[in-house]
């Protein structure tokens, strides 16, 4: 049997399968709308929207000339990911079978392996998204050293006036100051706050938060959502997801950090590039975004399953983000 001619192993079928995978539990990527680019070089503009008050005119006077916007353009190489699995002999035997049930089992096994590979890539993208919101994305592998500075000013990486772990800290005052930073430096309004369960516990136990919110409303929100869902004009998201680094679990949002962003997803995006993949003997095809293909091996006989994506989170409005340390 010529494995390369099987529909289930065709690159278009494999790629369509992975494109349809969804990981709705990953909250960081929801802040980064996807933007396709041709190639693997990300390019984005750093915007600084005007907050100037315009001049008035009287009848008969010419228009007031306004200077062109000042835009800084940045470039960086996308993060390239390509993962591989070797199909086991049981799956190969199912593919060789003429029985419908066996072919269905083989297709299900291949889809399962694709889903596992894609999950690794999407969790890596999620990690990259939260790193971008911190201001710097750093990769330190033996074979790859990469740092992307997103231009988030030091003023937008503030520390709390006092540790939020102390119940008497004036948390509302810190939030007012940090929301003001977003308004002054981006022209947008901070509408969402993200933290993990540790920081939310500080809010729930804080005397000033309790006094402002009221015990009744606090109890109602905590009973309904498990945490304070809305406070100080912010929709709060508590996010305890993370990734495994060896035997260690690492949360995407550290225990001492709070992130403020606007309600609209206009400050950042994730650029996804292209990849040439093999489609036949000495043939390749360019694909955008996620891709998957299979390669038949001859010694020993087998099929290697590949899945990959080239991407980079980019931030075009760094003034719209606050990445705060709440336990200095």
**174 and 107 within one domain:** no
pLDDT the model gives residue 4: 47
* Integer angstrom CA distances of residue 225 from 164, 200, 221, 238: 21, 12, 6, 10
Q: Is there a domain that residue 60 lies in?
A: no
CATH of the domain at 261: 3.30.1930.10
CATH of the domain at 18: 3.15.30.10
The pLDDT tens digits for 190-225 are: 999 999 999 999 999 999 999 999 888 888 999 999
Token code pair at residue 112: 């399962």
**274 and 261 within one domain:** no
**Is residue 33 pLDDT above 60, yes or no?**
yes
pTM comes to 0.91
Q: Is there a domain that residue 193 lies in?
A: yes
**81 and 17 within one domain:** yes
**242 and 106 within one domain:** no
Name the band, by pLDDT with cuts 50, 70 and 90, for residue 1. Answer: very low
Q: Is there a domain that residue 56 lies in?
A: no
- How many domains does the chain divide into? 2
**131 and 27 within one domain:** yes
Taking a C-beta distance cutoff of 8 angstroms, is the pair 261, 267 a contact?
Answer: yes
Give me the domain span that covers residue 166: 153-266+319-325
Token code pair at residue 135: 């201001």
**164 and 213 within one domain:** yes
**123 and 188 within one domain:** no
**115 and 44 within one domain:** yes
Q: Is there a domain that residue 68 lies in?
A: no
Q: Is there a domain that residue 37 lies in?
A: yes
Higher pLDDT, 321 or 111: 321
CB < 8 Å & 24+ apart, contacts of 105-112: 106/8, 107/8, 110/8, 110/9, 110/14, 110/305, 111/17
- Average pLDDT score, the chain: 91
Q: Is there a domain that residue 292 lies in?
A: yes
Q: Give, rounded to a whole angstrom, the gap between the first and last alpha carbons of the chain.
A: 65
pLDDT the model gives residue 103: 63
pLDDT the model gives residue 51: 78
Helix (H, G, I), strand (E, B) or coil at 130: helix
**128 and 275 within one domain:** yes
Among 84, 44, 49, 30, smallest CA distance to 271 is for 44
Q: Is there a domain that residue 252 lies in?
A: yes
Rg of the Cα atoms in the chain: 25
**130 and 13 within one domain:** yes
**Is residue 89 pLDDT above 70, yes or no?**
no
Among 162, 236, 160, smallest CA distance to 200 is for 236
Determine which of 22-26, 41-45, 51-55, 315-319 has the lowest per-residue pLDDT on average. 51-55
Taking a C-beta distance cutoff of 8 angstroms, is the pair 319, 273 a contact?
Answer: no
| Mean pLDDT calculated for residue range 1-15 | 71
**275 and 137 within one domain:** yes
Token code pair at residue 186: 């981006």
**245 and 160 within one domain:** yes
Q: Is there a domain that residue 295 lies in?
A: yes
Beta-ladder partners of 117: none
């Amino acid at each position: 049997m010529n494995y390369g001619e099987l529909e289930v192993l065709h690159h278009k079928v494999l790629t369509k399968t992975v494109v349809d995978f969804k990981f709705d539990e990953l909250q960081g990527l929801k802040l980064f709308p996807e933007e396709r680019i041709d190639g693997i070089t990300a390019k984005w503009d750093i915007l600084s929207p005007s907050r100037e008050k315009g001049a008035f005119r009287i009848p008969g006077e010419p228009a007031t000339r306004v200077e062109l916007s000042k835009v800084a353009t940045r470039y960086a190489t996308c993060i390239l990911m390509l993962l591989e699995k070797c199909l086991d002999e049981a799956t190969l035997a199912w593919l060789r079978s003429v029985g419908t049930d066996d072919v269905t089992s083989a297709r299900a096994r291949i889809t399962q392996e694709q889903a596992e590979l894609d999950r690794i890539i999407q969790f890596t993208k999620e990690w990259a998204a939260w790193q971008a919101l911190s201001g710097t994305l750093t990769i330190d592998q033996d074979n790859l050293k990469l740092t992307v500075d997103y231009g988030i000013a030091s003023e937008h990486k503030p520390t709390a006036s006092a540790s939020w772990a102390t119940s008497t800290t004036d948390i509302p005052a810190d939030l007012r100051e940090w929301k003001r930073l977003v308004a002054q430096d981006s022209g947008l309004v901070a509408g969402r706050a993200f933290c993990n369960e540790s920081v939310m516990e500080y809010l729930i136990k804080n005397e000033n938060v309790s006094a402002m919110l009221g015990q009744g409303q606090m109890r109602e929100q905590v009973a309904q959502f498990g945490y304070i869902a809305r406070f100080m004009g912010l929709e709060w998201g508590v996010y305890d997801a993370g990734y495994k680094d060896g035997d260690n679990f690492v949360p995407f949002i550290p225990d001492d950090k709070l992130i403020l962003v606007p309600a609209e997803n206009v400050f950042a995006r994730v650029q996804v590039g292209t990849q040439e993949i093999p489609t036949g003997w000495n043939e390749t095809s360019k694909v955008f975004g996620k891709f998957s293909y299979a390669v038949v091996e001859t010694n020993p006989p087998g099929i290697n399953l590949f899945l990959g994506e080239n991407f980079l989170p980019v931030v075009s409005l760094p003034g719209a983000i606050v990445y705060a340390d709440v336990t200095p």
